[in-house]
Amino acid sequence: MLVLLTAAETEARFRLGVGTLLARYVPGGQMPLVGVMVFVLAGVLGWPLVFTVLDPWLSHLPYGSDPAVRGLVFGAALWVVFLLVTRPSYLGVVTLLTYGYTLFAHLVYGFTLGAVSDVLTPVPTPR
C-alpha cells in the first residue's frame, strides 16, 4: 500500500502530504518520517498479526475458502476504519478521489495479505 501511496504522492508532485497526514495520528509525531515508519510497521507487523488471528472467523464468510477473498474483506474493513479516523472537514472532488484511491490501495493490500498468508501457511499432512 505504501508503494501505491508513494506513487500517488509522486504523481501529485508531493503535494498530498501523506507523511504529514500519517504523522498526525502518531502521538507527539510532528515529523512525517515518524508517521511513515509507524505506517510501515503497522502494515508489516501489526495488521498481518491481526489478520492471522481473525482468519479462522473470516473463513466462515461466503466464499471464505478463498484466502484472497478473506484478505479483501480484511482490507475493506481497514478502509472503513481509515474513513472513521480521517473524517474530512469538507467533502469535495479531491476528497472523493482520495477515498476511492485509498479504497483501491486497501483492497490491493488485503488481497496480497490473504494470498501471501495462504502461501506461507503450512498445509497439515494427513496421517
CA distance 92 to 97: 9
Q: Answer yes or no: are the C-beta atoms of 103 and 64 closer than 8 Å.
A: no
**Closest-CA residue to 4 (of 109, 74, 83, 88):** 109
CA distance 26 to 107: 23
Q: 72 lies in a domain?
A: yes
Range of the domain at 13: 2-120
Q: 34 lies in a domain?
A: yes
Q: pLDDT band for position 110 (50/70/90)? A: very high
Q: What is the pLDDT of residues 44-100, one digit of tens each?
A: 889 999 998 998 888 888 887 888 899 999 999 999 988 887 776 677 787 788 788
Q: 126 lies in a domain?
A: no
> How confident is the model at residue 114, as a pLDDT?
92
Q: 48 lies in a domain?
A: yes
CA distance 5 to 91: 20
Overall size of the chain counted in residues: 127
The three cell numbers of residue 44 are 508489516
Q: 127 lies in a domain?
A: no
> How confident is the model at residue 75, as a pLDDT?
95
Domains of the chain: total: 1
Looking at per-residue pLDDT, the higher value among 110 and 27 belongs to: 110
Q: 125 lies in a domain?
A: no
